[in-house]
Amino acid sequence: MTTAPILEVKRLEKRFGAVVAATGIDVEVRPRDRIGIIGTNGAGKTTFVNMVTGYLEPSGGDIRFEGRSVLGRPPREVTRLGICRSFQVPQVFGSRTVLENLVMALALAEATGLALLADPWTSDRAERARRTLAEYGIGDQADREAGLVSQGVRKLLDIAMAMAHRPKILLLDEPTSGVSQEEKLAIMATVMEALDREGVTVLFVEHDMDIVARYAGRVLAFMEGRIIADGPPQDALNHPKVLEVIVGEGSFSGARATQREPADA
């Protein structure tokens, strides 16, 4: 633990009127960390992700990435710095094919200025996109419209698009929600393998404690806008509060989790 933190969150706060969605959040993330974020609905997990990625402006506190504050930067700048994310409800271009979605993502990541006027559709890019889709196990879906493929495929596409920028940190917001129990493990296996190859630091919000236990090297437990536990899975998941409030609900949540979407904003 001697390396400098890649992401530091200090005394982060977010209030919506009288509602406190986050308060006193302190987190230090080191390169190549695998952090699972757990908590009940409304605990502040997605709010946390939204603040780190610039979608929500914190009411107080600071977020520093590689030593620099990223407060006040909109999502696209945060993305360009190297913090990317996926979404609980996959955000894809529904009227385009899976392949086109990824080509577009690659083009936007690679082109700036006048190069944006060029046709994104180069044979090189298409080739790489097909290869990536194959790596994510959805190569056979490449030419289907993204609005029509299964939720699992969309989830993977969503993550693949987030990876187009070759981020240093990737935040996954419930990567396995809304898909069947069998698909969950397959998705996590595929995604984590791809992320390992790239050496990306990962924070993932997850309700399924088995997945958390299997893939997280560290767990952050949220409750009522605070972090109530932060540590290795065996410690955090056995924290009394966590056991009582989160795990108790979450360990059997497989069936219910599928119905929970759309969840907290």
Interface positions with another protein (CB under 8 A) = 50, 53, 55, 74-76, 79-80, 84-85, 87-89, 91-96, 100, 103-105, 107-109, 111, 115-121, 161-162, 164-165, 262, 265
At a CB cut-off of 8 Å and minimum separation 6, what does 127 contact? none
* Minimal distance, residue 251 CB to another protein, in Å: 27
Q: Report, in Å, the least distance between residue 117 CB and another protein.
A: 4
Order of all β-strands in the sheet with 201-205:
83-85, 169-173, 201-205, 34-39, 218-223, 226-231
Residue number with CB closer to another protein (5 or 120) = 120
Between 165 and 184, whose beta carbon lies closer to another protein? Answer: 165
Q: How far is the CB of 121 from another protein (least distance, A)?
A: 4
Nearest approach, Cβ of 228 to another protein (angstroms)? 25
CB 229, CB 241: distance < 8 Å: yes
Question: Among residues 91 and 180, whose Cβ is nearest to another protein?
Answer: 91
Question: Residue holding tokens 């974020």?
Answer: 37
Tokens describing residue 93: 């271009």
Of 248, 89, 53, give the one whose Cα is nearest residue 174. Answer: 89
Q: Are 47 and 13 in contact (CB under 8 A)?
A: no
Nearer to another protein, 117 or 255 (CB): 117
Residue 132's H or E segment, with its range, is helix 123-135
153 vs 242 by CB, closer to another protein: 153
Min separation Cβ 175 and another protein, Å: 14
What are φ and ψ of residue 14, in 5° steps? Answer: -145, 125
Closer to another protein by Cβ: residue 161 or 221: 161
The angle subtended at Cα 43 by Cα 49 and Cα 58, nearest 5°, is 45
Kindly state the smallest distance separating residue 41's Cβ from another protein, in Å. 13
Strands (E), 17-88: 19-29, 34-39, 60-65, 68-69, 83-85
In whole angstroms, how close is the CB of 79 to another protein at the nearest point?
A: 4
Query: For another protein, which is the closer residue by CB, 9 or 83?
Result: 83
Point out which residues pair with 222 in neighbouring strands.
Answer: 39, 227
